[in-house]
Amino acid sequence: MKKYKAAFFDMDGVLIDSMKYHCKTWVDAFAQHGIAFDPQMAYRNEGRTGASTINLAFESQKGRAATEAEISSIYQLKTRMFRQLPPAEAIPEMADFVQLLKKDGLDLWVVTGSAQDSLLARLSEHYVDCFSSHKMVTGKDVKFGKPHPEPYLKALQHSGYHPNEVFVIENAPLGVEASVAANIFTVAINTGILPNTELAEKSANLIVSNVQELQAWWCNN
């Protein structure tokens, strides 16, 4: 008898293979503003709000926070660049895993910092009949981004589950940090470029390298 009733999925880097594009557009948008921002930094800050990421880069390189105008200019440039890239595909084989959980009767939720209106449409293309707009916590629903636990606490509150009844699938160190802080069993799937140690440092309960390992964990659970 499986003890879990629901799974909370992060989106970028877990359901959708979009981190390579987020990484490229962050690096390029910062470069156009004379700020060196490497791919590791893009992955390490994944999950933060845009303003928070921009402020961190300014503080580390210029010794001050970014102005509102700088935040707006860099974030708009990054967003424009992102829209010019081809639409991101699903993470390989993740659709099979999500369908398996659905078949096993799990309630499926999405917890993402993204605030795009097109989000559900994009998910529905790859994950047919799995997710619903009523079962999502997005960037529009929260005041604090990850690594603050608020997004996952909101998902618990909206879904009515106890933390013990749920597991989270995250890919990013700050996402793991948010989920662990909400006391939820956290599975980290490393779909990016950072070493597993960075996920372990945030106390992920389990770290897997691909969907096959995720599926093996679930089937043995």
Please give the torsion angle defined by the CA atoms of residues 216, 218, 220 and 221, in that order, rounded to the nearest 10 degrees. 160
- Mark the segment that binds Ca ion (CB under 5 A) among 13-21, 28-36, 89-97, 213-221: 13-21
- Mark the segment that binds Ca ion (CB under 5 A) among 21-29, 64-72, 130-138, 163-171: 163-171
Interaction of residue 191 with Ca ion, rule CB under 5 A: no
| Interstrand relation of 185-189 and 206-208 (parallel, antiparallel or unpaired) | parallel
Report the site for Ca ion in 126-155 (rule: CB under 5 A): none
Interaction of residue 192 with Ca ion, rule CB under 5 A: no
Helix 68-84 vs helix 50-62: angle between axes, to the nearest 10 degrees? 120
The span from the CA of 54 to the CA of 117, in Å, is 23
Instruction: Tell me whether residue 72 or residue 205 sits nearer to Ca ion (CB atom).
Output: 205
Interaction of residue 13 with Ca ion, rule CB under 5 A: yes
Instruction: Tell me whether residue 49 or residue 171 sits nearer to Ca ion (CB atom).
Output: 171
Q: Which of 10, 150, 177, 198 binds Ca ion (CB under 5 A)?
A: 10
Distance of CA 203 to the CA centre of its chain: 16
Closest distance of CB 47 from Ca ion, Å: 6
- Mark the segment that binds Ca ion (CB under 5 A) among 50-58, 80-88, 93-101, 166-174: 166-174
Name the token pair of 15: 């359901």
What does 105-145 look like in DSSP terms, one character per residue?
Answer: T-EEEEE-S---TTHHHHHHHHSTTT--GGGEE-TTS-SS-
The size of the interface with Ca ion (CB under 5 A), counted in residues, is: 5
Residues at the interface with Ca ion (CB under 5 A): 10, 12-13, 171-172
